[in-house]
Amino acid sequence: MSGNEAIALGAYEAGVKVGAGYPGTPSTEILENLCRYPEVSTEWSVNEKVALEVGIGSALAGGRALITMKHVGLNVAADPLFTASYIGVKGGLVVVTADDPEMHSSQNEQDNRHYARAAKIPMLEPSDSEEARDFTKIAFEISEKYDTPVLLRTTTRISHSMSGLVKGQRVEAKTPEGFIPNQPKYVMIPLNAKKRHPVVERRMFQIAEDAENMEFNFIEGGTGDFGIITSGVSYTYVREAYPDVPVLKLGMVYPLPELMIREFCSKYSTVYVVEELDPFIEDQIKAWGLKVRGKDIFPIIGEYSPELIRCAIGGKSIPENISLSVKLPPRPPSLCPGCPHRIVYSVLSRMKLKVSGDIGCYSLGALPPFTAMHTCIDMGASITVAQGIEMAMGGDCCDTVALLGDSTFAHSGITGLLNAAYNKRHSLIIVLDNGTTAMTGIQPNPLSGETINGHETVALDYAKFGEACGLKTEDIRTVDAYKEEDIEKAISEMTASGRLSLLIVKGLCIILKRRQQAARKERGA
């Protein structure tokens, strides 16, 4: 199984009742696999904040919940995460954060281990698919034992690499007894929060003490005068690079087992800390006054590999792109042939408009031959950045448009539109509706009229929503993504109007269209 499939299996075997998340590579396949188990109620939530709040509700009612997202998604969910640490749980609550070293499909390379320390929540990090399954089950046990949410950190290589494991049996969790009010614990007004904070500090102290004897923190003996402390996928690289060197393998990366680490460091003249991205473990060990080597020889960016580790420890220079075992010719990403977004980008480029862009497969419009996206920051920022440009220019925004996709609009563009209407802005907002969340593998969303299980559901009505926000009927239009003249006319007229406008460019994702055609052909056969 892949790591993502294994996490879904682990959640199922742990007796999870609820699964929620927002699709984001490299985490997407977790929920897609979890929804195949009928015992688990699953949903694609509108965004990560909503998903985590759904999970909190399940946990407070006594049902175990697994919440999934990519690393930047945890930024969106950070608000409820920090308070969930104070509230605690009844049923286990596990939040998967899938980091993306090397930025295979992300706008930054952040290290989400920092969230564990900041929110005062324990974090586990598996090294292969078997641990991904096992750590998911253990995370639920820790969550309920210590009355806390638990973070499970994966990376792209763990999420998508495959390794063997043996399936276990599902633990049939007790039927949730339902939500029982407990205001001092669940209502985080200042009076109650002040009392809960000391509870959180005592909890983390206890977990740190117990981490010394947790089975997933262990030492593997070996030969040589140096040792290595590592975790996650880096452990796999270390073992391939140095199969006989002593290793302290950390399954829990926060809090760390101080006594175990001190004992390990005392045995060797040199100890290396091998971890991708930030010196998270290294900094904590150095704060205890221990001497270790880490980011002075290992890079702080990108993915590692056995070759990179051998070069760094061996005192050799690290060649560029050493993580690639096979040298591949460059293959720049591009919009698919026949993609419904291609024509609108061609029009925007020809009209020489400045485009405040967003996160989605349409971000590829920033590349040649279109080069028609000029900002890309985070989900939903297209609309709000365009407003900031307009404000700075004293209301002159006739050459600037905001552009985002349908799923992104549901995720966090809606609030931007409401803000624009409320503050009497004048920008043109273009929604590229291709009927799906294409970038992460064709998932349904609140605009597509389908749930994660393929069931028909409501779809947001752009016109009614726009009117509810205060837009005039004539300032809301829908055009066919393949009718170039109509697109250009609409953009020209709406930018010239000087009023806040909403243009929907509709055209089914070409990949989804082919899948639907194949499915119809198969049914017909």
Could you give the percent of the chain with pLDDT greater than 90?
84
Residue bearing the bigger pLDDT, 518 or 303: 303
Residue bearing the bigger pLDDT, 441 or 461: 461
Q: Is residue 327 part of a domain?
A: no
Amino acid 330: pLDDT = 73
Beta strands in 327-381 (DSSP E): 354-356
Per-residue pLDDT of 336-368, as tens digits, reads 999 999 999 999 999 999 999 999 999 999 999
175 and 302 inside one domain: no
Amino acid 205: pLDDT = 97
Amino acid 334: pLDDT = 86
Amino acid 402: pLDDT = 96
Q: Is residue 102 part of a domain?
A: yes
Q: Phi then psi for 312, rounded to 5 degrees?
A: -65, -50
Q: Please say if the pLDDT value at position 105 is more than 90.
A: no
Per-residue pLDDT of 226-255, as tens digits, reads 999 999 999 999 999 999 999 999 999 999
Residue bearing the bigger pLDDT, 194 or 105: 194
Average pLDDT for 207-235? 95
- Using the CB atoms, write b or e for 441-464: b if 16+ within 10 Å: ebbbbbbbebebeeeeeebbebee
Q: 100 to each of 257, 444, 490, how far by Cα in Å? A: 26, 23, 39
Number of domains in the chain: 3
Amino acid 217: pLDDT = 97
Instruction: Indicate the pTM of the whole model.
Output: 0.91
Per-residue pLDDT of 23-36, as tens digits, reads 999 999 999 999 99
Q: Which of 38-47, 432-441, 512-521 has the lowest mean pLDDT?
A: 512-521
Q: Please say if the pLDDT value at position 156 is more than 60.
A: yes
204 and 240 inside one domain: no
Amino acid 365: pLDDT = 92
For the domain that residue 425 is a member of, what is the CATH number? 3.40.50.970
pLDDT tier at 118, thresholds 50, 70, 90: very high
Helices (H) and strands (E) in the chain, counts: 20, 16
**What are the structure tokens assigned to 40, written together?**
């688990």
With beta carbons less than 8 A apart as the criterion, state whether 48 and 22 touch.
yes
204 and 277 inside one domain: no
With beta carbons less than 8 A apart as the criterion, state whether 179 and 56 touch.
no
Which range marks the domain in which residue 229 is found? Answer: 218-313
With beta carbons less than 8 A apart as the criterion, state whether 247 and 279 touch.
no
265 and 347 inside one domain: no
- Using the CB atoms, write b or e for 252-279: b if 16+ within 10 Å: bbbbbbbebbeebbeebeebbbbbbbbb
Last residue of one domain, picked from the residues 172, 188, 212: 212
Amino acid 518: pLDDT = 84
22 and 83 inside one domain: yes
Q: Is residue 65 part of a domain?
A: yes
Q: Please say if the pLDDT value at position 495 is more than 90.
A: yes
d(CA 427, CA 76): 25
Amino acid 253: pLDDT = 97
Last residue of one domain, picked from the residues 172, 192, 212: 212
- Of 418, 408, 404, 396, nearest to 469 by C-alpha is 418
pLDDT tier at 321, thresholds 50, 70, 90: low
For the domain that residue 275 is a member of, what is the CATH number? 3.40.50.920
Residue bearing the bigger pLDDT, 397 or 520: 520
Q: What share of the chain is helix, strand, coil (3-state, %, to 5)?
A: 45, 15, 40
Place of tokens 């209301």: 395
Burial class (CB in 10 A: 0-12, 13-18, 19+), 331: exposed
57 and 142 inside one domain: yes
129 and 255 inside one domain: no
Q: Is residue 524 part of a domain?
A: no
224 and 163 inside one domain: no
302 and 350 inside one domain: no
Q: Is residue 329 part of a domain?
A: no
33 and 163 inside one domain: yes
pLDDT tier at 326, thresholds 50, 70, 90: low
Amino acid 525: pLDDT = 56
HEC string of 39-106 equals CCEEEECCCHHHHHHHHHHHHHCCCCEEEEEEHHHHHHHHHHHHHHHHHCCCCCEEEEEEECCCCCCC
488 and 512 inside one domain: yes
273 and 347 inside one domain: no
With beta carbons less than 8 A apart as the criterion, state whether 509 and 442 touch.
yes
Average pLDDT for 511-523? 84
Amino acid 235: pLDDT = 97
User: In sequence order, what are the residues at sequence separation of 6 or more whose Cβ sits closer than 8 angstroms to the Cβ of residue 214?
Assistant: 251, 252, 257
Q: Please say if the pLDDT value at position 83 is more than 60.
A: yes
Q: Which of 98-112, 143-157, 159-173, 470-484 has the lowest mean pLDDT?
A: 159-173
Burial class (CB in 10 A: 0-12, 13-18, 19+), 208: middle
Amino acid 260: pLDDT = 97
Q: In what order do the strands lie in the sheet with 270-274?
A: 218-220, 247-250, 226-231, 270-274
pLDDT tier at 322, thresholds 50, 70, 90: low
Average pLDDT for 173-194? 91
Mean pLDDT of the chain: 93
The type of residue at 321 is: N
Q: Is residue 165 part of a domain?
A: yes
Q: 513 to each of 51, 283, 362, 489, how far by Cα in Å? A: 28, 50, 17, 27
With beta carbons less than 8 A apart as the criterion, state whether 511 and 336 touch.
yes
Average pLDDT for 78-101? 96
Last residue of one domain, picked from the residues 188, 212, 236: 212
d(CA 399, CA 487): 16
